[in-house]
């Protein structure tokens, strides 16, 4: 017996196979690219996700040495908020406008004015932000009317793959929460918002809970992927909610910190609640009758990836010669720099920001550069700046009354001992990794197990499969970081109007 989790991530598709005890048998990853045709835009070709999905599903079955008939079910997860538009034949109409795309500031303002900020907060638990799905629909209607007139289906990234696997147009509550079209308290599409925005309700996918089956692998998809026709496909969850399941964030008081392309602080809640000013996202969790609060920094690991690609060709060459990950070479050099990077501060707002500023025009910056600073200082400053951004999120979560009795860390950044220690020092709390570091696809596989009867509940699945390990505790450097964090907190406000002015500079695109 085996379960598969399939993750349609920002940087690539990942498939993972686990057994009934939650042991990972194999993983497979296939990268794809992101296009930025204009500043602050981010797009991907949805068909590239499907091509990568076919490759990783074939690959992971072979690596795990299991027969297709042994796969009990598949759970889906992926990047949230992306807008995939299909016509009546199921053909993709334009590239997906992604979660980190910031083009829709005008549409967000339009939506807030039309419905009212407080009313939107009451219905959705969230402010309308450019990364969310609804304003992207309005942008397409305004700027691409020929595309808009052909639209018959609106899907999120993982749900496009569900359609390719099953032929069904379905989604689940956690991912749907990030559209700002969902009544989050009552877990249904908001007829009031859809009607106000004149978005046809029939365009929206059927909603289920994350543990419900949404169809089965059809003949065409079985041929393309190597899966057995009829294999159940379960709702799954948005990447953060599924990742939380995979990290054991299924009870109040246990909080996760994830450093992936984005950085996330995720807190389980047994009741619907929201941050009064909407600075945290209030979403449905990937389990029935549960919600979560979430703070997001848009460019966490993405900041380090940007620096790697733009400035670290030498490190990449050394890594290839040593046959190691380029990040290993980069982080090793950063570890030789002192905490605080000798007064160098990085603001990780490379694609705007969400928490706590909700500002699509925010820009990244190095502050405090001197002739003493080197490339390793800049790498360490990036890691520290991301940690400060996550502290902004954590402080807002605890102010809502949710206790932080245990903090767990996951994502690619969690594999770095240095980054774990920096984060423990900045948060001034102990951190635990967990027995699985595969995050979202691991949680999706567990959700598939619940949906197909392998596990009775999400809580029992998580408790059987996930255990905290490898603690990192704050050390003597916490005081240094507290002083630097105070500077970090003032930096956005002092540079906000400068960021706005820079956004008016025309691009070559």
Alpha-carbon distance values, 292 to 216, 251, 370 (Å): 29, 10, 42
Tell me which DSSP letter residue 96 carries.
E
3-state SS of 347-383 is: ECCECEECCCCCECCCCCEEECCCCCCCHHHHHHHHH
Is-contact 43 95, C-beta < 8 A? yes
User: How far is Cα of residue 185 from the mean position of the Cα atoms in its chain?
Assistant: 22
d(CA 501, CA 106): 17
- Percent helix / strand / coil, the chain, rounded to 5: 45, 20, 35
User: Residue 356: is the preceding peptide bond cis (ω within 30°)?
Assistant: yes
- The DSSP element (H or E) to which 46 belongs, if any, is helix 46-64
SS3 83: strand
Q: Which residues contact 204 (CB under 8 A, 6 or more apart)?
A: 154, 181, 189, 194
Tell me which DSSP letter residue 313 carries.
H
Is-contact 414 256, C-beta < 8 A? no
Tokens of 497: 């109007």
Tokens of 410: 């996951």
- Buried-exposed string 404-429: b where 16+ CB fall within 10 A, e elsewhere: eebbbbbbbbbbbeebbbbbbbbbeb
Strand partners, 153: 86
d(CA 45, CA 94): 8
Q: Which residues contact 25 (CB under 8 A, 6 or more apart)?
A: 2, 17, 18, 19, 63, 64, 66
Other C-beta atoms within 10 Å of 276: how many? 10
To the query of whether residue 239 is one of the catalytic residues in this protein, the response is yes
Is-contact 210 173, C-beta < 8 A? yes
* Residue in 159, 175, 239, 438 annotated catalytic: 239
Q: Is the four-CA dihedral 477, 388, 14, 236 of positive or negative sign?
A: positive
d(CA 296, CA 264): 5
d(CA 200, CA 193): 11
Length of the chain: 509
Q: Which residues contact 344 (CB under 8 A, 6 or more apart)?
A: 366, 367, 368, 369, 370, 373, 377, 378, 381
Q: Catalytic residue numbers?
A: 239
């Amino acid at each position: 017996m085996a379960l598969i989790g399939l993750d349609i991530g920002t940087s690539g598709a990942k498939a993972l196979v686990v057994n009934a005890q939650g042991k990972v048998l194999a993983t497979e990853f296939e990268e794809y690219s992101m296009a930025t045709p204009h500043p602050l835009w981010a797009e991907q070709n949805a068909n590239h996700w499907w091509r990568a999905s076919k490759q990783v599903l074939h690959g992971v079955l072979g690596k795990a040495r299991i027969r297709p008939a042994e796969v009990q079910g598949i759970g889906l997860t992926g990047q949230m908020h992306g807008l995939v538009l299909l016509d009546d034949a199921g053909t993709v109409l334009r590239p997906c406008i992604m979660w980190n795309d910031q083009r829709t500031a005008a549409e967000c303002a339009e939506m807030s004015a039309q419905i009212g900020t407080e009313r939107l907060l009451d219905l959705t638990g969230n402010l309308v932000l450019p990364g969310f799905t609804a304003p992207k629909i309005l942008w397409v209607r305004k700027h691409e009317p020929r595309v808009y007139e052909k639209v018959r289906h609106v899907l999120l990234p993982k749900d496009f793959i569900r359609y390719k696997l099953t032929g069904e147009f379905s989604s689940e509550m956690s991912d749907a929460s990030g559209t700002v079209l969902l009544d989050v308290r009552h877990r249904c599409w908001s007829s009031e918002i859809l009607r106000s925005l004149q978005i046809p309700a029939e365009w929206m996918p059927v909603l289920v809970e994350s543990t419900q089956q949404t169809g089965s692998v059809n003949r065409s998809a079985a041929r393309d992927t190597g899966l057995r026709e009829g294999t159940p496909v379960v709702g799954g969850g948005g990447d953060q909610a599924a990742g939380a399941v995979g990290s054991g964030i299924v009870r109040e008081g246990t909080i996760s910190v994830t450093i992936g392309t984005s950085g996330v602080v995720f807190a389980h809640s047994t009741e619907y609640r929201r941050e009064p000013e909407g600075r945290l996202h209030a979403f449905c969790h990937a389990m029935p009758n549960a919600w979560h609060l979430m703070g997001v920094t848009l460019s966490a690991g993405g900041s380090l990836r940007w620096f790697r690609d733009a400035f670290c060709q030498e490190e990449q060459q050394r890594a290839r010669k040593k046959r190691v990950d380029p990040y290993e070479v980069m982080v090793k050099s950063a570890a030789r720099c002192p905490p605080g990077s000798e007064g160098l501060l990085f603001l990780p707002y490379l694609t705007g920001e969400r928490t706590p500023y909700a500002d699509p025009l925010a820009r990244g910056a190095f502050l405090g550069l001197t002739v003493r600073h080197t490339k390793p200082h800049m790498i360490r400053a990036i890691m520290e700046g991301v940690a400060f951004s996550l502290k902004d999120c954590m402080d807002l979560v605890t102010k809502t009354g949710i206790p932080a009795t245990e903090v767990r860390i996951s994502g690619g950044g969690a594999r770095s001992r240095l980054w774990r220690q920096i984060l423990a020092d900045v948060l001034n709390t102990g951190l635990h990794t967990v027995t699985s570091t595969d995050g979202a696809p691991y949680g999706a596989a567990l959700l598939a197990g619940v949906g197909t009867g392998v596990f009775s509940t999400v809580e029992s699945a998580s408790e059987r499969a996930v255990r905290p390990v490898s603690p990192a505790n704050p050390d003597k450097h916490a005081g240094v970081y507290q002083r630097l964090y105070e500077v970090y907190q003032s930096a956005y406000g002092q540079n906000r109007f400068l960021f706005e002015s820079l956004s008016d500079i025309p691009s070559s695109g």
